[in-house]
């Protein structure tokens, strides 16, 4: 029966994993204009030469000719904690230790890849380093030999077992689904176990590891039936990005596996912007032209900021302990001057002299999407074997497989309605240090932004060149 071999491999999941997890029911969706959200649909590993829209793509050789689209197993996500459940959050942290070395590897990966991606750009761009990391990590879990060695070197981890365990721990640590915000990393395997009537055996160890450490749901499909399979995959992406992305797919007939990764994120400002203070003003483009757009305004009497060589940096807090960082280049400095090397980018995001004082915010409302081709970026960073016909992905199946394309699509939007009044949370502080200085985060020219999780992982990084575009 179609899909039976895959089902047998995947359904052998540890009882302990099932006992400690439960399927998460989605909360009532906050209307798009009531939230700021970021969505990234990131990686697809497919077989053959295919083309698709609004999705990642990695292509392998092989041929699928099974029938239908059979859901094999839905992933059981970690337990969702209520926003105020601090005891539960500490328990999750204790049970899922993330090594400092792994956190450093993810940060290094973010800087290395971002510098290559942002090189010679001159328009709005949004990129998710964490989504690319998870997608490549899942691919690396099925690689062997030189292919695995090169991928692990880029990912900054010594061995595949450590990569999988740490990826699973970080997943459970970051997973957020409460009445305030959401951070959901979703993975899925789309498997065609029949090639011209000849069975294809996918490795039990690969699919089991994908379930346990990457929370990857699994689906038996027929890639030769492009319409049925494409609709099923598009629906999965649509559902896992809260309706933000609705991609279309085309497949080569020689396709046997596809891996899709998505990230959906939204959160609420700790201190929301007052709509009454939003006003239209001028944003100065890098080419000397001007556009008018809406700016959100707010002033904090006591807040942290940093000044470095060519920039001022500050951030706005999010209720689930993440932050949105804004880096304003000095006059005469472009965002790309600050993104010219991993060391320079690290300095912009982490360096400079720290101050505490009044911070005046003037932030443009913006919303845009980005499509990126990333195969050459990964090649330039030392991964070559994975793209050759003799690539070793024997950890997935005993079948020739090699990557031919990598793409990422993302979407970002922010506005002053990131926090609803009915969900307002008051936090009192005491013992604030005396103001040392004053910073004006007047973001009326191209600037850099980043979104970090509770542990400082860089979820998204981008440049806003034209908020009105």
Position 416 confidence tier, pLDDT thresholds 50, 70, 90? low
For residue 233, give both structure tokens: 């995959």
Residues 6+ apart with CB under 8 A from 395: 141, 142, 143, 144, 148, 160, 203, 205, 206
Averaged pLDDT, 131-160: 93
- Return the higher-pLDDT residue of 94 and 263: 94
Give, as one character, the DSSP assignment of residue 435. Answer: P
When pLDDT is averaged across residues 250-270 and rounded to a whole number, the result is 76
> Averaged over 274-278, what is the pLDDT?
91
**CB hemisphere CA count around 449 (13 angstroms):** 27
> Per residue in 429-460, pLDDT tens?
222 344 457 889 999 999 999 999 888 999 89
The CA-to-CA distance between both ends of the chain, in Å, stands at 51
pLDDT digits (tens, 9 = 90+) for 340-350: 999 999 999 99
Q: What confidence tens digit (pLDDT) does each residue in 369-405 have?
A: 888 888 889 999 999 988 887 888 888 877 777 776 6
The runs of H, that is alpha helices, within 68-176 are 86-95, 100-118, 129-140, 145-155, 160-174
Domains of the chain in sequence order: 27-267+368-412 (3.30.497.10), 275-365+432-464 (2.30.39.10)
> In angstroms, rounded to a whole number, what is the distance separating the alpha carbons of residues 448 and 458?
13
Percent with pLDDT over 70 in the chain: 76
Mean pLDDT along residues 177-191: 84
Alpha-carbon distances of 126 from 265, 292, 370, 372, 444, rounded to whole Å = 14, 21, 6, 9, 18
For residue 402 the two structure tokens come to: 């090699």
Read off the pLDDT of residues 36-94 as tens digits, 9 standing for 90 and up.
343 433 333 332 222 222 223 333 433 333 344 555 666 788 988 998 898 999 999 99
Q: Give the distance from CA 389 to its chain's centroid.
A: 29
The CA-atom distances, in angstroms, between 350 and each of 108, 134, 306, 353 are: 12, 23, 9, 10
Given pLDDT bands bounded at 50, 70 and 90, which one contains residue 28?
A: very low
Q: What is the mean pLDDT of residues 102-116?
A: 96
Select the highest-mean-pLDDT range: 58-72, 317-331, 392-406, 412-426.
317-331
The answer, yes or no, to whether residue 131 has pLDDT greater than 90, is: no
The mean pLDDT of 138-150, rounded to a whole number, is 93
The stretch 199-212 carries a mean pLDDT of 83
pTM score, whole prediction: 0.82
CA distances from 3 to 278, 281, 306 (A): 55, 58, 56
Please report, rounded to a whole number, the percentage of residues in the chain having pLDDT higher than 90: 40
């Amino acid at each position: 029966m179609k899909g039976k071999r895959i089902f047998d491999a995947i359904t052998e999941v540890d009882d302990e994993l099932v006992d400690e997890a439960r399927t998460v029911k989605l909360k009532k969706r906050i209307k798009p204009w009531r939230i700021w959200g970021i969505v990234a649909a990131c990686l697809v590993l497919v077989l053959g030469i295919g083309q698709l829209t609004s999705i990642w793509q990695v292509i392998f050789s092989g041929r699928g000719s099974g029938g239908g689209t059979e859901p094999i197993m839905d992933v059981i996500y970690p337990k969702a904690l209520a926003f105020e459940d601090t005891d539960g959050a500490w328990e999750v942290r204790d049970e899922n230790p993330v090594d400092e070395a792994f956190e450093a590897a993810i940060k290094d990966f973010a800087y290395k890849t971002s510098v290559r991606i942002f090189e010679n750009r001159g328009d709005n761009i949004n990129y998710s380093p964490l989504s690319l990391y998870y997608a490549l990590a899942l691919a690396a879990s099925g690689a062997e030999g030189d292919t695995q060695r090169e991928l692990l070197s880029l990912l900054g981890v010594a061995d595949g077992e450590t990569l999988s365990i740490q990826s699973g721990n970080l997943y459970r640590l970051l997973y957020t689904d409460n009445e305030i915000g959401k951070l959901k990393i979703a993975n899925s395997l789309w498997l065609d176990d029949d090639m011209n009537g000849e069975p294809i055996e996918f490795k039990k160890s690969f699919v089991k590891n994908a379930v346990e450490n990457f929370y990857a749901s699994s689906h038996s499909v027929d890639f030769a039936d492009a319409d049925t399979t494409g609709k099923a995959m598009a629906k999965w992406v649509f559902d896992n990005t809260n309706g933000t992305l609705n991609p279309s797919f085309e497949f080569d007939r020689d396709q046997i596996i596809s891996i899709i990764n998505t990230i959906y994120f939204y959160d609420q400002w700790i201190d929301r912007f007052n709509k009454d203070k939003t006003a239209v003003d001028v944003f100065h483009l890098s080419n000397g032209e001007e556009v008018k757009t809406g700016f959100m305004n707010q002033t904090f009497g006591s807040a942290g900021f940093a000044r470095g060589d060519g920039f001022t940096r500050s951030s706005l807090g999010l209720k689930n302990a993440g932050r949105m960082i804004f880096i304003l280049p000095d006059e005469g400095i472009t965002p790309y001057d600050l993104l010219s090397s991993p060391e320079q980018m690290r300095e912009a995001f982490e360096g400079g002299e720290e101050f505490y004082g009044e911070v005046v915010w003037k932030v443009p409302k913006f919303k845009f999407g980005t499509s990126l081709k990333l195969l050459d970026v990964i090649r330039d960073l030392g991964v070559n074997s994975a793209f050759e016909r003799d690539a070793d992905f024997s950890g997935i199946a005993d079948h020739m497989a090699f990557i031919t394309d990598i793409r990422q699509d993302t979407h970002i939007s922010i506005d002053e309605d990131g926090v609803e009044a009915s969900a307002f949370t008051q936090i009192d502080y005491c013992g604030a240090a005396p103001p040392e200085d004053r910073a004006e985060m007047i973001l009326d020219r191209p600037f850099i932004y980043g979104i970090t999780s509770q542990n400082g992982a860089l979820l998204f990084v981008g440049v806003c060149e034209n908020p009105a575009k």
